[in-house]
Amino acid sequence: MAIKPPILQSGDTIGIVTLGSPLPASVINSRIETVRSLGFQVVLGDYVYAEDGFLAGTDQERASDLMNMFADDQVKMILPSRGGVGVAGILPYLDFTFIQNHPKILTGYSDITVLQNVLAQYANLITFQSLLLIDFTMNTPAYNYNQFFSATSVLSAQRQIQNPPGIPQISRVPGNVTGSIVGGNLTSFVGTLGTPYEIDTKGKILLLEETHEPINTVYRYLNHLKLAGKFQDCIGIVLGECTECPVAYGTSYEDLINDFLVPLGKPLMTNVTTAHGTYKAAIPIGATVNLDTVNNTLTVMEPVISLT
């Protein structure tokens, strides 16, 4: 059974880290003020402001920040500032046994989902595809905060993941399957294929989303996953948005869904609002979910946090 991290409560301390690409100090500081205004304490990693080209410090430095947060008893949740690129570089420097023995809430999306799935595989820890530090603004939709806190601060036996009103989740291939949900950003996972950190989809429900890639590139990445057996191994597919993904050669994201994913024959739900989109459903990576594309529901089937 997957390990459930302890619940996040008002007044708790949140540890801020930058695990991939850098973020300007002014942005980090303004977002921290929003976190504090919500009733939380904040501690910062040593390299949260680091800048080394397109990375926020060396792989070892970023990894040490993450491990220090898992080791700090006062920290109840770990919040990366952003994704970007480079998160996979920290993986060889992590102590998964230590993390397994010191479970904490970790949220994020984009390149952070590489880390989240590795934590599910190597530390058996449930994490959350949900908000990054950069999302903590006064203009963030209430839906996003409601999803975040429903996942991290409310103990519930089951929780249905629903889009905001007026934005339908679309079931494309009928079926009803239950299993662990894995996945996240498509580009990030293609980069792990052929490594010790390759995503494991066997018997699992696969979640995918993308941003700012032309549709021919999205096709290339999907086909790479197909050739690697990831669609054959999975039992169902949950597809998020492809935000700011331009049409290529007259082919749209909708065309790609119909021409590539529907013929796979796996239960398929699309248009789930999460990650890079404006609206961000909180999806617990590594938790057991039910995908019912007959009744068009996606339901978390177990508590994903613990009281201690």
pLDDT tens across 73-123, in order? Answer: 999 999 999 999 999 999 999 999 999 999 999 999 999 999 999 999 999
**Mean pLDDT, the chain, as a whole number?**
97
**How far, in whole angstroms, is CA 92 from its chain's centroid?**
20
- 250 Ramachandran zone, left/alpha/beta (phi>0; psi -120 to 50): left
The whole-number pLDDT of residue 71 equals 98
How many other CB atoms are there within 10 angstroms of residue 71's CB atom?
12
How many other CB atoms are there within 10 angstroms of residue 220's CB atom?
12
Q: What is the mean pLDDT of residues 209-232?
A: 98
**Does the pLDDT at position 1 exceed 90?**
no
Assigned CATH topology for domain 159-300: Glucose Oxidase; domain 1 (3.50.30)
Q: How far apart are CA 158 and CA 289, in angstroms?
A: 9
Q: Kindly list the catalytic residues.
A: 110, 209, 276
| pLDDT 10s digits, 155-166 | 999 999 999 999
The whole-number pLDDT of residue 101 equals 98
Question: DSSP secondary-structure letter at 151?
Answer: H
- pTM summary value: 0.97
| pLDDT 10s digits, 267-287 | 999 999 999 999 999 999 999
CATH homologous superfamily, domain 13-152: Murein tetrapeptidase LD-carboxypeptidase, N-terminal domain (3.40.50.10740)
Note whether 13-152 and 159-300 share their fold: no
The whole-number pLDDT of residue 173 equals 98
Taking the domains of the chain in order of start, what are their residue ranges? 13-152, 159-300
Q: How far apart are CA 207 and CA 201, in angstroms?
A: 10
| pLDDT 10s digits, 171-204 | 999 999 999 999 999 999 899 999 999 999 999 9
**Does the pLDDT at position 69 exceed 90?**
yes
Share of the chain above pLDDT 70, in %: 100
